[in-house]
Each structure stands twice: as C-alpha cells, then as structure tokens.
Amino acid sequence: MRTLADRIDERSAEIARRVSDQNGMPIFMSTAAEAHVPSQILRYYADLICTEATEELRGSSSGGNTLVRRVPVGVVAAVAPWNFPNIISALKYAPALAAGCTVVLKPSPETVLDAILLGEAAQQAGMPPGVFNILFGGREAGARLVSHPGVDKVSFTGSTATGRQIGAVCGELLRPVTLELGGKSAAIILDDADLDLQRIARQLATALFANNGQTCFLTSRVLAPHGRYDEVVDVIAALAESIKVGDSLDPATQVGPLVSRRQRDRVEGYIAKGLAEGARLVVGGGRPARRDAGWFVEPTVFADVDNSHTIAREEIFGPIVTITPYSDDDDAVRIANDSEYGLAATIWTESAERGTNMAKRVSVGTVGINDYIADFHSPTSMVKASGLGVKFGPESLLSYQRFQSVYL
C-alpha cells in the first residue's frame, strides 16, 4: 500500500490534469485534493493496520477463553462517482486492502482517464494479480457487479435514488453495504458570525461552491438570522459575483464547467423551479458571457427561499446557493433538521462553545465550524437519506472486517 502511494504520487500532476479535464474541477482543487490526498489515505490505513490488533483473547462466561478475530469481509465491490473520483475511490480501496480484502473498483464513466493511471500505479507497485481490479463500464456493469455472487460487500457513493436500488439488492442478498449518498446541507449563520469577506471568503466559498457545486457535503442551504438577513444576502451575493469562472485547467479559475450537458440542463431546471416557486434571484441564474464552449452555469444565489421550495429540498449539484431566514437558534436547528438528508452542516459563529452546542443539535454526520475541511482520521456516519454506514477513521477499517469467535 505504501508503494502504491509512492507510485500515485509520481503521477500526481497528470492525475490532477485528467480529473479537471473530465469533470470540470478547477485545477487548483484537483492538484490539492485529487492528486495528493489518495496517497495520504493509503499511508494512513497502511500504518493503522500495523497497529490494530486483529486477534484478542478474552475470558469467557464458561470459565475458559475465547479468541476473538477480525477477519477480512472478502471481495469488495467499490463503485465510485465522478465528482471526487480519486479521493472517494481511495476511501474505499485503502481500508479494504488494509483489512485484507480484494477489491473490484468501478469508476464512473465520466472519469476513466485518471483511473487508468491508478491501474498503472497498482501494477508498478507489485500488487498481486486479482487483489486490486478496475472494471470500466456504465450502469449495467455496476448493476452486475453489485449483484455478483462472488461479491461479499458493496461500497457505493452516488445519488440517493441509485443508492436505494443498491440497498434493495444487498438487502435481498443479505450482503453488507456502505452507502454514501446525497446531501442538502445547511449553513447556519449565527447572529454573532464574522461576515467580513476579507477574512472568510475562502472558507465560505469552499462551503458553498466547492468543485463547481458538484459536492455532496456542500452547505449551500444557508440559514440567516432575521436581524442580519439583508447583510448575509449582500455578503453571499458579493462572494458569488467575485468568483472567477473559467477553464478548469486555468490555475486562477474558482468555478469551472459542470461535468456534462445533462448536468447543466439539470441545474438550469432547478433555477427555473426556484423562480417559478417565488424565490428571489439575487445573482447569476444564467450562463456566463463569452463561455460558449463548456457546460457553464454562473454562481447563483437565491434569497427569500422557503424551506419547502424544491431548491431547498433537493440536491442540485451545481453552483446554486439558497438563503432562508430564521428567527432564533431553535428555529435554525428546526429548519436545518427539516430535510430528508443528513450528511453535513456548517455553523458560523464567533463562539466555539456556541457553535459546538449547536452542532450537537443538528442531525448530520459531520459539522464544520467556520469552515468545512473533511478529516479522514475521524469517522462520519451517513444519516437519513444520505446513506448507511461509516466512512473515515479506524471505524471505516472495521466496516471491511467481520468478527469470528473461537471458543477455547
């Protein structure tokens, strides 16, 4: 695994370029994340398995001893999405390999060129034949893999609709499954929040617009206190207008094109729904000028959004932010939790204690205070329609193992 990490690092620049060329991720982000984080994840789980005990001798109720073993679950079908193809793939195959499982990774059809580099790296790392396999294909290949009788566990990241289908198949087969699905996460801006863009522009842009809005954990459903509502709208509008839209391979680009025409059509459909349902368009809403080539959508901000509006309920997966007013902290928590999803949240406040107390009341797997930086050392659970199971940390390693007790 450590050698594989080294071989991936040798290809980091080309991995970043291929990812940005395929899914529109700005090159500054693919360089920082997609190119370098997968090798960090591999080394983390390689180190972890060297320190984790896989056998434990316990005293038994009968007066004897029991050998409790943690053994590999078996063959893992890992189905990855196109938005963060390398990081999310690594979060599947790294703990699975560390646990002693074999892996069949199916990348998304939208991002296969970077997966070819991963395959080359695995070969050069000396991975034994059959241990780490990459299967290219579309929906039919994914469905066949998920239901294959030789598979012992499925790990899927993608839409909630597809996740429900996979969950149904695995339930029928009594096959363990981890599902990381959609999100419609809330950013709760408290009345004491620092809204100076000179200080928080990077953090706010990451939480609201990262990867062109094509990110499941984005907290793009902004909740603003009545007393500072107009200020919040003005600040987020100014942020959206300041974002540089351009070629994904340009280092200065902050928002690039969406992954496909179909995705742009989908996002534009949500903009039309927002207008039809009475939300106020503050910024954006169209295609950027002089960007005829590529599937571009302007960073868009809707204000006066009721939490019942479609754009506040459904995952858009584009650079669209909604702003909804609330009356007090209890009302903010109520609105934040009034969602079928439970993936993430952010809370913006000058008080760490107040932010932590609010975080404990929000029904999500992860919460960022004044920023959102995922930590793969610490676990997060997928909540409600955002999925099943756990990712990150030692807990993810455990999900690729099963227990066996030997009574001595």
* Domains of the chain by start residue, with CATH: 2-181+386-407 (3.40.605.10), 186-369 (3.40.309.10)
pLDDT of residue 290: 84
Which is catalytic among the residues 34, 101, 216, 315?
216
Q: Is 50 a catalytic site residue?
A: no
Q: What is the mean pLDDT of residues 45-54?
A: 95
Measured between alpha carbons, how far is residue 225 from residues 192, 212, 239, 299 in Å? 10, 26, 19, 23
Considering only CA atoms, which of 184, 196, 180 is closest in space to residue 370? 196
CA distance 329 to 299: 28
pTM here? 0.95
pLDDT in tens, 50-99: 999 999 999 988 888 999 999 999 999 999 999 999 999 999 999 999 99
Tokens 């907290």 found at: 219
Q: Is 170 a catalytic site residue?
A: no
SS (H, E, C) 289-353: CCCCCCCCCCCEEEECCCCCCHHHHCCCCCCEEEEEEECCHHHHHHHHHCCCEECEEEEECCCHH
pLDDT in tens, 372-390: 999 999 999 999 999 999 9
Considering only CA atoms, which of 96, 107, 56, 8 is closest in space to residue 405? 56
The secondary element (H helix, E strand) that includes residue 237 is: helix 229-242
Q: How do beta strands 102-106 and 75-79 pair?
A: parallel
Which is catalytic among the residues 34, 101, 180, 268?
180
pLDDT in tens, 130-174: 999 999 999 999 999 999 999 999 999 999 999 999 999 999 999
Mean pLDDT of the chain: 97
Alpha-carbon Rg for the chain in angstroms: 22
Task: Note whether 224 and 233 are within 8 A (CB).
Answer: yes
